Amino acid sequence: MAVDVRPVVRVRRTRADVAAFMFDPANDMRWTGGITSSVPARPGLLVTGAKVERTARFLGRSFTYRYVVTKHEPDRLVELQVERPFPMTVRYELADVEGGTEVAIHATGRPGWFFRWATPLLAKQVHKNISADLDRLRRCLET
């Protein structure tokens, strides 16, 4: 069984404004919950090949992981490969809509042995966490 969630929020800012904030790891701790550190290998916006090391808390556990950007379309898309807490692909997707930008985070993956038994609950928690992240992102950009 796989995790496949895609929460969406509308942000009343231009796509370029959202991308400039969201695709910059220097802002990770302002809008991404559970992150206690975020250290990019090099400063600047996420582009293909960029690597960022994060320390996070998830389901009561603290761990450090690295993500690698595998796809990038300026002001539209960033795709990340993440190995922990389980291997997954995370896509930050931006689209123009009337009055602003539709922002989606699409996370897919197959939990390993530790999380496999709890995949339905895990998917629900991942959706909840990403939805909260998107709400924080919206608040950061609209206030």
Q: With respect to CATH, is domain 3-142 assigned 3.30.530.20?
A: yes
pTM recorded for the entire structure: 0.90
Fill in the DSSP letter of residue 7: -
CB 53 within 8 A of CB 69: no
pLDDT in tens, 49-98: 999 999 987 667 788 999 999 999 999 999 999 987 778 899 999 999 99
So what's the pLDDT on residue 97?
A: 98
Residues in the chain: 143
Q: 115 near 20, Cβ under 8 Å?
A: no
- In this prediction, residues 31-44 reach a mean pLDDT of 93
End-to-end CA distance of the chain: 39
Segment 11-28 shows an average pLDDT of: 97
Domain regions of the chain by residue span: 3-142
Q: In Å, what is the CA distance from 44 to each residue of 9, 25, 33, 41, 72? A: 24, 7, 21, 10, 14
d(CA 65, CA 83): 7
